[in-house]
Amino acid sequence: MRALTILFLLLSVLTVSCTETDLSGPSSNDFDRQAMLENWADNIIIPSYEAFSGHMATLHADAEAFTTTPNQTTLDQLRNSWETAYLSWQNVSQFEIGTAAQIRYRDNMNIYPVNTTELEKNIADGSYNLSLPAENDRQGFPALDYLLFGLSTNDGDILDYYTTHQNANGYKTYLLALTERMKGLTDTVLDSWETGYRDEFVQNSGNGANSSVDMMVNDYVFYYEKVLRAGKIGIPAGVFSGSPLPTHVEAYYNQELSKALALEAIDAAQAFFNGEYFDGNGSGESLKSYLDFLNTMKEGADLSNRINTQFESARSQANSLSSNFRVQINTDNSAMLSTYDQLQRNVVFLKVDMLQALNINVDYIDADGD
C-alpha cells in the first residue's frame, strides 16, 4: 500500500509539472522552434510591415495632395503610390495573427469585389461607420481601385468627380477617409508587433493549439487556400460557381495589376515557407527546415522539395497569363483554370502532408481524440 502511495505522489508531481510550460530549451538534437519564430517575427513579418507601413504613409500623403489639388499630376502620383502599396500589401496579407486577427485587418483592407452601389450611397449620405463588418466591401484597396480607376472610362471624367461634380467634396472626403483608416489600421498592427506582441509571439514556442507555431501555420495554410488560390484565381475563374466571374478579380478597375499582385503573393508565400529574409539577404529557420529536420527520421519523400517545385510550377503558369485577368478570363479561361490547378496541388501538400508531418491540426479541434 505504501509503495502505491509513493508512486501516486510521484506521478502526480509528473502530471502537475507537465501542465506547466517548461522552457528548458532544446538540446542540440532538437529542431529550434523558437529560432523559427524569431526568424519569422524579426526577419520577415516585422520588416514586411515596416515596408508596407512606409508605403501606406506615402499613399495617404498622396491622397491628401490629390484631394487638396485634384489634377492629372496628383492623380497619377496617387495611382502610383496605390499600386506600390497594393503590391507591398501582398507581403503582409498572409500574417493575419495577433492584433491583425483581432481587428480583422485583412477584411478591412482587401475585400473584393467592391460594392459600388453601397459605396456611392456612403458618399451621397456623407455618414458612414467604416469599422462595421458590413462596410468591408466599401473600403480598402478595392474601394480605392474604384475611386481612382472605375468612376469613368477616361481620366478627364474621373477628375470631374473630384472637381466639378456637385458632391465633389463627398468624394474627396471619402477617399481621404479610406486612406486614413488604412494607414491607421496598419500602424496599429505594426505598433503591436513592435511593442510587446513580438515577444509574446516568440515566447509562445510550446506545442498545442494556442502556440505560435500552430496558429501561424494554420493562418498560412488558410491564406494560401482561401485568399491566394481561391480569392485571386479560383473564384474569378469560376471554379466555385460554374461560370467565370471576371468581376471578382483583384484590381478589377485598374485592369493591368491583377497578375502582378498574384505573382507578388505567390513570391511572398514561397519566401515565408523557405524562411527567406524580407530584405533578401539570407534565410533562417522555417517550415522548410522544420520539414527537412523531421524528414531525416522518416526517410520519406522530400516534402519541402515538392512544395517548392510546386510553387515554381504555379508561378510559371501564372506568368503565362495576361497581365489583365479580365481579358484573360474572357478570351481563354482555361489558362486561369490551369493556374488554379497548379496552386491547388500545393494545397494538398501543405494541408495534408505538411500538417501531418508537423502534427498540427487544422483549426484546432479541442474535442478528445482516440
Partner 1 sequence: MLWSIIRFAANGWIQKLYIEPTYFFSYYGFEWVKPLGSYTYLLFILCGLSTIGITLGYRYRASILLFFLSFTYIELMDKTTYLNHYYFISVLSFLMIWLPANAHFSLDAKRIPELRVKEIPQWCVDAIKLLIGIVYFYAGLAKLNSDWLFKAMPLQIWLPAKYDIPLLGSLFQQEWTHYAFSWAGAFYDLSIPFLLLWKRTRAIAFLLVIIFHVLTGVLFPIGMFPYIMIASATIFFSPELHERVLAKLRKGTSFFIIPKAEQGTYAFSSDLMKKTSLGVVSVLLIAQLLIPFRFLLYPGNLYWTEEGYRFSWRVMLMEKAGYANFKVVDPETGRQFYIDNSRFLTSFQEKQMATQPDFILEYAYFLEDYYKNEGIKDPQIYVESYVALNGRSSQPYVDPNVDLTTIAPSLKHRTWILPFND
Residue type, 284: G
CB of 209 to partner 1, least distance (A): 9
CB of 156 to partner 1, least distance (A): 41
Is the CB of 17 or the CB of 154 nearer to partner 1? 17
Is the CB of 132 or the CB of 301 nearer to partner 1? 301
DSSP structural state of residue 94: T
Q: In sequence order, which residues have a C-beta less than 8 Å from that of residue 86 and are 6 or more positions away?
A: 141, 251, 257, 261
DSSP string covering 167-200, please? Answer: THHHHHHHHHHHHHHHHHHHHHHHHHIIIIIHHH
Give, in order, the Cα–Cα distances in Å from 100 to each of 104, 134, 277.
6, 18, 21
CB of 244 to partner 1, least distance (A): 11
Binding residues (CB under 8 A) for partner 1: these are: 4, 7-8, 11, 14-15, 17-18, 21-24, 26-27, 29-31, 33, 205-207, 230, 234, 238-243, 294, 297-298, 300-301, 303, 306, 344, 347-349, 351-353, 355-363, 365-370
CB of 19 to partner 1, least distance (A): 8
CB of 94 to partner 1, least distance (A): 19
Is the CB of 125 or the CB of 368 nearer to partner 1? 368
Residue type, 69: T
CB of 32 to partner 1, least distance (A): 10
DSSP structural state of residue 151: S
Could you tell me which residues are beta bridge partners of residue 283? Answer: 276
SS3 (DSSP) at 165: coil
Is the CB of 105 or the CB of 290 nearer to partner 1? 290
Q: What are phi and psi of 257, to 5 degrees?
A: -95, -15
* Nearest-angstrom CA–CA distance, 353 and 365: 18
Is the CB of 166 or the CB of 243 nearer to partner 1? 243
Which residue in 51, 67, 60 sits closest to 81, CA to CA? 60
Is the CB of 43 or the CB of 344 nearer to partner 1? 344
